[in-house]
Amino acid sequence: MYGFYGFSVRILRIYTDTDLIRAAQLLQRIASVSLPASLRWNPLEALSSLADGKCDCLPLTFGYAHFQTRGVRFAPIPAFDRDHARRPILGGAGMAVSAQRPQVEKAQALARFAGSAEVQTELWPRNGGQPAHTEAWRGLGETDPFYRDASSSLTGAYVRPRYAGWNRFQSAAGDAINHWLAARSDSAIVLVAQLRQLWTEATVNAATCRSVQEGAK
């Protein structure tokens, strides 16, 4: 049985309704042979279930190197078809420096130190961290199966949008897809219309926030 987790809501404006309906129907076919409980799993719960033998495969999920110690192996993500490139979403947490605090230069120095190739390749993974630096992945990939096998997915990944409203959109769109799959609805058109409405609301909200920010300068 599959564990169903990992649909990444892409930027809807670059896809036609036909593309989205095909994607929804594919998800529906995967969900039909998945564990019903997996619709409620988050990425770590899905990977834990895989490690515990509750499911056989996760078609798409975020990668966590430490799950190798529990027997989980990662591979390049599957492509939708030969005409579509493999473009996963890049996860992880970032670092930011506030311009409003008094120790900006020290904070910038810390961020540069933490993000340097040396720290990311040596100190970070040695202490249980999963690096983001390309050089770290290249070096670790010489001996570590996770970094070797998942590197092609990282290379083709795109960074999720960072404008105001994106997180809300991603959560709402994910909930809409999840509920649609759980209901086993036949109408993908209704789902696509709902996703487009959520996307429109998110982009309008982002534009409003930009206007407010520019007006405050």
Q: Is 86 helix (H, G, I), strand (E, B) or coil?
A: coil
Give me the percent of the chain exceeding a pLDDT of 90: 41
Helices (H), the chain: 17-32, 43-51, 104-114, 117-118, 124-126, 134-140, 145-155, 166-183, 188-216
Tell me what the pLDDT averaged over the chain comes to: 84
Which of 9-13, 17-21, 133-137, 153-157 comes out lowest in average pLDDT? 9-13
Average pLDDT over residues 49-58: 94
Model confidence band, residue 211 (pLDDT cutoffs 50, 70, 90) = low
Residue 13 has pLDDT above 60, yes or no: no
54, 35 Cβ separation under 8 angstroms? yes
pLDDT at 105: 92
Residue with tokens 């990311």: 120
Average pLDDT over residues 42-60: 93
pLDDT at 5: 43
Span 82-98, pLDDT tens digits: 777 777 888 777 788 88
Residue 10 has pLDDT above 70, yes or no: no
Q: Considering just the CA atoms, what is the radius of gyration of the chain in Å?
A: 20
Q: How far apart are CA 74 and CA 72, in angstroms?
A: 7
Q: Six-digit token pair at 98?
A: 């506030």
Q: How far apart are CA 87 and CA 80, in angstroms?
A: 10
The number of C-alpha atoms within 13 Å of 171 and in the hemisphere containing its C-beta is: 4
Q: How far apart are CA 136 and CA 131, in angstroms?
A: 7
Q: Is 47 helix (H, G, I), strand (E, B) or coil?
A: helix
20, 12 Cβ separation under 8 angstroms? yes
Q: Is 202 helix (H, G, I), strand (E, B) or coil?
A: helix
Q: How far is CA 182 from CA 35, 36, 53, 55, 196, in A?
A: 11, 8, 23, 18, 20
Residue 8 has pLDDT above 60, yes or no: no
65, 144 Cβ separation under 8 angstroms? yes
Span 149-198, pLDDT tens digits: 888 888 778 877 777 778 888 889 999 999 999 998 878 999 999 999 99
Give 115's DSSP letter.
T
Q: How far is CA 86 from CA 77, 80, 94, in A?
A: 7, 8, 23
Which residue would you say has higher pLDDT here, 140 or 215?
140
Q: What is the pTM of this model?
A: 0.79
